[in-house]
Amino acid sequence: MSKNALMAHVEAKHIKANPPQFDVGDIVDVHQRIVEGDKERIQIFSGTVIMVKGDGINTNFTVRRIVNNEGVERIFPLHSPKIEKLEVKRKSRVRRAKLYYLRERTGKATRLKEGDPIVVGEQTQAPAAPATPAAPVAETKPAEGTK
Amino acid sequence: MSENGQGSIAALLGRKIGMTRVYDDKGTVVPVTVIEAGPNVVTQVKTEDGKDGYNAIQLGFEDAKERRTSKPIVGHCKKTGQTTPKKFFREVRLTAKSPLTAGATLDVDTFETIKYVDVTGISKGKGFQGVMKRWNFGGQPGSHGTERKHRSPGGIGGGQGTRGHGRAIRLGKKMSGHLGDEKVTARNLFLVSVDKEKHLLLVRGTVPGANGGILFIRQAKTVVNNTK
């Protein structure tokens, strides 16, 4: 009895065929569908992706931005149908999978160097690589060990 | 085929597969338990006017190897025209005569119009547990002179003056002991979706027992308007 096959079968219907591709450190615009009464509109939340965690249907990512001098973080489920679109505005050269250190920084110190994330290991990943949703986490993680 | 004078109710035996999350049509995350339910075979029909004296159907789930099954069970299953005996059985009481005959197959179709279900299973065994975990007692203070009994139940009655029960601990007093591994029913769980192709039921929330455990799923007993 292949339990996992049945679980995968259930999840497959709710997993996006082409989930948005991005990496930790990217500056992104998250287009989120908001329903107010019977009206629907799109709200854009833009900020830095500071982490991606989970895999498969459980993938979540956190976007951080500063609003009125106050740090605001929002956690989005990657496969949520409420996420209409995700635009990558700028790639960053980061050495970590989780950018929690940005929480202690303000102003200029929160800037990230432009470029692709540093990946330690065999393959240097192109941003457009058709990877599984979990791939960015897995591939950027080894960077932590090199310090 | 759910509500016709209670001659048939939606009920199946199944297996717990595991938990995951799905999105509903509003895009909200719903935590679900995946249950592989059926197909079940009606192995016996009991009727009020027959020798049993009450109305019920008996469901059989999962094929068993004949050589590993006792002969009475093999014979019982063969009577209904089955080639292989079944592994698990469960009787469903009905208030009217069932339109089904022995040998009929039931699958998740029976739940198509059902909104809420009750799920019965054997809960995970937790072994011998203290009173805090087993009965949600508060335990004793962490400080103020309490020594080595922070998780103890405290007084358990007895002695004089226990209102007529003097010198005896009241029967059924909640104490430490074996927790779990007992029959538990989770009631009125929302039936999120039915997958006919793979015989799956997706039920909102948690369900008793470990993954792979045998479950009995029926339409909710206490919900009045239980159709979609």
Of B83 and A91, the one with more pLDDT: A91
Closest residue in A to B25 (Cα) is: A81
Q: Predicted ipTM? A: 0.71
**Boundaries of domain holding B114:** 11-125+183-219
Contact B195 A57 (CB under 8 A): no
Q: What pLDDT, on the 0 to 100 scale, is given for residue A134?
A: 45
- Does residue B50 sit in the same domain as residue B95? yes
Query: What distances in angstroms separate CA A57 from CA A60, A84, A147, B171, one per listed residue?
Result: 9, 16, 31, 50
- Does residue B97 sit in the same domain as residue B154? no
For residue B167, which amino acid is it? R
Contact B18 A3 (CB under 8 A): yes
Please tell me the distance from the alpha carbon of residue B82 to that of residue B89, in angstroms, as a whole number: 14
Contact B34 A10 (CB under 8 A): yes
Stretch A97-111: mean pLDDT, rounded? 88
Name the pLDDT band for A1 (thresholds 50, 70, 90).
Answer: very low
* Dihedral angle of Cα B122, B127, B133, B135, to the nearest 10 degrees: 60
Closest residue in A to B32 (Cα) is: A10
Per-residue pLDDT of chain B (228 residues; tens, 9 = 90+): 444 456 678 889 999 999 999 998 888 999 999 999 978 888 888 888 888 888 988 999 988 888 888 888 888 888 887 778 889 999 998 888 888 888 888 888 888 888 999 999 999 999 999 999 999 999 999 999 988 999 999 888 766 655 655 667 778 889 999 999 999 999 999 999 998 888 999 999 999 999 999 999 999 888 777 776
| Percent of chain A residues past pLDDT 70, beyond the cut | 79
- Does residue B197 sit in the same domain as residue B174? no
Chain B interface test: which of A2, A6, A57 (most B C-beta within 10 Å): A6
Residue B155 belongs to some domain of the structure:
yes
Q: What pLDDT, on the 0 to 100 scale, is given for residue B38?
A: 77
- Does residue B73 sit in the same domain as residue B161? no
Please choose, from the candidates B89, B67, B66, B90, the residue with its C-alpha nearest in 3D space to the C-alpha of residue B78: B66
- Does residue B53 sit in the same domain as residue B139? no
Q: What pLDDT, on the 0 to 100 scale, is given for residue B177?
A: 95
Structural domain total, chain B: 2
Q: Which residues from chain A sit within 8 angstroms of residue B209, using beta carbons?
A: none
- Does residue B59 sit in the same domain as residue B23? yes
Q: How far is A34 from chain B (nearest CA, A)?
A: 10
Name the pLDDT band for A133 (thresholds 50, 70, 90).
Answer: very low
Is A7 near chain B, with CB under 8 Å? yes
Q: What pLDDT, on the 0 to 100 scale, is given for residue A135?
A: 44
Q: Which residues from chain A sit within 8 angstroms of residue B29, using beta carbons?
A: 77, 80
- Does residue B121 sit in the same domain as residue B144? no
Stretch A59-80: mean pLDDT, rounded? 92
**Does the pLDDT value for residue A136 go beyond 70?**
no
Residue B4 belongs to some domain of the structure:
no
Three-class DSSP category at A123:
coil
Stretch A131-135: mean pLDDT, rounded? 45
Q: Which residues from chain A sit within 8 angstroms of residue B17, using beta carbons?
A: 3, 6-7
Contact A79 B23 (CB under 8 A): yes
Contact A6 B17 (CB under 8 A): yes
Residue B204 belongs to some domain of the structure:
yes
The tally of CA atoms less than 13 A away on the side-chain side of residue A107 is: 1
Contact A10 B20 (CB under 8 A): yes
Contact A33 B36 (CB under 8 A): no
Residue B16 belongs to some domain of the structure:
yes
Residue with tokens 């039915």: B194
Q: Which of residues 10 through 49 in chain A touch B, CB cutoff 8 A?
A: 10-11, 13-14, 33, 35
Indicate the residue of A1, A11, A80 with minimum beta-carbon distance to B20. Answer: A11
Q: What pLDDT, on the 0 to 100 scale, is given for residue B162?
A: 54
Token couple for B188: 């009125």
Please choose, from the candidates A68, A69, A49, the residue with its C-alpha nearest in 3D space to the C-alpha of residue A60: A49
Please tell me the distance from the alpha carbon of residue B176 to that of residue B135, in angstroms, as a whole number: 8
